Amino acid sequence: MLNGFTDRSLLKQYIISIIVTISVSAICYPLSPILGYVSVALVLLFMVSILSVILSIFPVLVSAILSALIWDFFFIPPFFTFHVEKTEDILILGLYVTIALINGILNSRIKRYEKLARQREDRTKTLKLYNAIFNSISHELRTPLTTIMGVTENLSDGSQRMAETDKEQLYNELFIASNRLNRVVDNLMNMSRVESGHLEPKFDWCDVRELVNRAIDRLSTDLQTHPLHLEFGEDLPIVRLDFGLTEQAIYNILHNICFHTPEGTKASFTVTFDEGILRMVIRDEGPGFREEDRKRAFEKFYRSSGARSGGLGLGLSIARGFIQAQGGEISISNSEKGGAEFSISLPVNVFNINTENE
From the list 188, 191, 173, the residue with the least C-alpha distance to 137 is: 188
d(CA 154, CA 171): 11
**Residue 311 confidence class, pLDDT cut points 50, 70, 90:** low
pLDDT averaged over every residue in the chain: 79
For residue 209, pLDDT beyond 70: yes
**Residue 149 confidence class, pLDDT cut points 50, 70, 90:** confident
From the list 317, 208, 155, the residue with the least C-alpha distance to 252 is: 317
Class (C level, CATH) for 136-196: mainly alpha
Contact 99, 67 (CB under 8 A): no
Specify the pLDDT at position 160: 61
Mean pLDDT over 168-183 rounds to 73
What are 288-304's pLDDT values in tens digits? 888 887 888 888 777 77
Q: Residue 227: helix, strand or coil by DSSP?
A: coil
Least confident range from 36-50, 274-288, 300-314: namely: 300-314
Specify the pLDDT at position 358: 43
Residue type, 23: S
Which sequence spans correspond to the domains of the chain? 2-121, 136-196, 204-350
CA distances from 223 to 226, 255, 296 (A): 5, 9, 26
Contact 117, 109 (CB under 8 A): no
For residue 109, pLDDT beyond 80: no
Class (C level, CATH) for 204-350: alpha beta
d(CA 59, CA 7): 13
Specify the pLDDT at position 345: 94
Least confident range from 123-132, 159-168, 258-267: namely: 123-132
> Model pTM?
0.56
CA distances from 345 to 68, 213, 341 (A): 65, 18, 13
For residue 3, pLDDT beyond 70: no
Mean pLDDT over 308-314 rounds to 65
Contact 298, 290 (CB under 8 A): no
From the list 272, 235, 247, 259, the residue with the least C-alpha distance to 340 is: 259
